[in-house]
Amino acid sequence: MSGPLSKLKRKVILLIFVSIFISCSPVILLSTWQNWLILSVVASLSCCLLLKLIFHKLIKAVEALNVGLLNFKDGDFSNQLAYQNEDEFGELCQLYNETAQQLRKEKQWLYQREMMLDKMLQSAPQALLLINDNGVVVFANQSAQNLVGSLQALEGLSISQLQDTAPQEITAAINTAQDGLISICQGDADEQVWHASVGEILLNNQHHNLYIFKQLTRELNRQEVAVWKKVIRVISHELNNSLGPISSMSHSGKIIATKLEDTRLHRVFSTIDERISHLTEFVQGYGTFAKLPMPILTAIEIRPLLESIQLQWPSRIQCDVDTLQADRGQLEQLIINLLKNAHESGSKSDAITLTVQSRNGMTKFLFEDAGQGMSEAVLTSALVPFYSTKNSGTGLGLALCREIVEAHNGYINLSNRSLGGLCVEVGLPN
């Protein structure tokens, strides 16, 4: 046995020997060496006996406390002391057990909070990067990994290594460590606006920089769509208020024209009815866009859904995904709209392909055709409500697709194919 416990034993033995020597010193001085030897042996045996009788419980209690404190030092609060005698050390051991139990509960609570915090940070839409003063990434969530474009975890990578995959604007923002707006444009994808926020924190006595990148493009798009929806609701309300009386008067006019046997007047009222019916369908289409309900997510089997849509809109489909959490009605409307656009692009049916695959926590739908594609001006405005290049188009097909995708926290990108035609990429969370 080593450490403070062995020192305590040596001090106790020394104290007993000194006490016995002092008490027996007159006898030793007045006795012969034979008597002194006998007395020494008797004193030694008495010392050992007294040590065992008096300090046995004390040594046992101190041993238990020593083991317990060593467990505390190692961060282990699960052990309880077995010493339960009703004395001062028993009360001390009981206090130790209560403290260990309290520390164990607090440790479990802290662990649960850390797990909850980590889950929240990993699922946060903002990209979070924590970099120490050596330029090494200490923490990065999934959004940061997607923003940087890395297929592996970012923890342990240096800033210079991030430059291999990250957009130049992001690495420049990390190097300057300043708040501000960032515009990112990669390839044929739409320009994205991000806001960079930088804060300095002290963690384990080491300075770290916390970078928070928040995408503003989606928020700006939502505000734009909200304005369009408000306009649509006002227009639809006014048109419906007028269409009802007009339809009723037209019906009465047709009855009168029938009684008068005036074919010209009957033809006039029939034309009015036809245009009223067309305008009603037109208003209802806009109403669908303006009042799109929140998606109700359920587990959808992708392949049977695609097979049923393929009967109406033939295309070559390749699907590597079994299920997806989405609103079935909205997902079906999304796929039909995009396949319908592909067929109306002038492309042959056998040149239209739909590929479904899972990548980095997202299910990606790639709609490709061999049509005429889109000009840069059309690509910029194609997702805006009311914008259409078709004579009979309402300008709501792609706008509705974007609304459905963003309601599912996904994205939609339009780009021209190098071999001709259009490619529409839709990403929905798994």
Residue 177 has pLDDT above 60, yes or no: yes
For the cut 70, the answer to whether the pLDDT of residue 323 exceeds it is yes
**Tens digit of each residue's pLDDT (9 = 90 or more) over 339-353:** 998 998 888 888 999
Q: Residue ranges of the domains in the chain?
A: 4-111, 124-215, 219-290, 298-429
Percent of the chain with pLDDT over 70: 71
Q: What's the pLDDT tens digit per position in 390-417?
A: 655 556 678 788 888 888 888 888 888 8
d(CA 186, CA 365) in angstroms, rounded, equals 19
Q: Is residue 50 predicted with pLDDT exceeding 80?
A: no
CATH T-level assignment (fold) for domain 124-215: Beta-Lactamase (3.30.450)
Q: Are 166 and 190 in contact (CB under 8 A)?
A: no
Over residues 162-190, mean pLDDT: 76
CATH code of the region 298-429: 3.30.565.10
Residue with the larger pLDDT of the pair 40 and 368: 368
Give pLDDT, residue 24: 56
Rounded CA-CA distance 354/334 in Å is 13
Q: Which residues contact 217 (CB under 8 A, 6 or more apart)?
A: 190, 191, 192, 193, 194
Q: What is the pLDDT of residues 193-236, one digit of tens each?
A: 777 888 888 887 888 888 888 876 665 566 666 666 676 666 77
Tell whether the model's pLDDT for residue 30 goes beyond 60: no
Mean pLDDT rounded to a whole number for the chain: 77
The mean per-residue pLDDT over the stretch 290-314 comes to 86
pLDDT at 2 over 60: no
- Largest Cα separation within the chain, whole Å, is 159
Statement: the pTM of the whole predicted model exceeds 0.75 = no
* Nearest residue to 394 via CA among 199, 232, 214: 232
Using an 8 Å Cβ cutoff, are 213 and 170 in contact?
A: yes
Average pLDDT over residues 314-328: 91
Please give the structure tokens belonging to residue 323: 């299920």
Structural contact between residues 59 and 6, judged by C-beta atoms closer than 8 angstroms: no
Confidence band of 1 (pLDDT split at 50, 70, 90): very low
* Whether the Cβ atoms of residue 363 and residue 353 lie closer than 8 Å to each other: no
Estimate to the nearest angstrom the gap between the alpha carbon of 272 and the chain centroid: 54
Condensed to tens digits (0 to 9), the pLDDT of residues 98-108 reads 888 888 888 88
Beta bridge partners of 201: 208
Average pLDDT over residues 293-304: 88
Please measure the distance between the N-terminal and C-terminal CA atoms of the chain and give it in whole angstroms: 59
3-class SS of residue 100: helix
Q: Which tokens hold the place of 149?
A: 């474009």
Q: Reply yes or no on whether the pLDDT at 188 is more than 50.
A: no
Per-residue pLDDT of 142-161, as tens digits, reads 888 888 888 788 888 888 88
State both tokens at 51: 């040590």
- Predicted pLDDT at 186: 59
Question: Strand, helix or coil at 297?
Answer: coil
At residue 352, the pLDDT reads 92
Between residues 318 and 65, the one the model is more confident about: 318
Statement: residue 365 has pLDDT above 90: yes
The whole-number pLDDT of residue 344 equals: 87
pLDDT confidence band for 9 (50 / 70 / 90): low
Which of 109-113, 280-284, 311-315 has the least mean pLDDT? 280-284
pLDDT at position 34 is 58
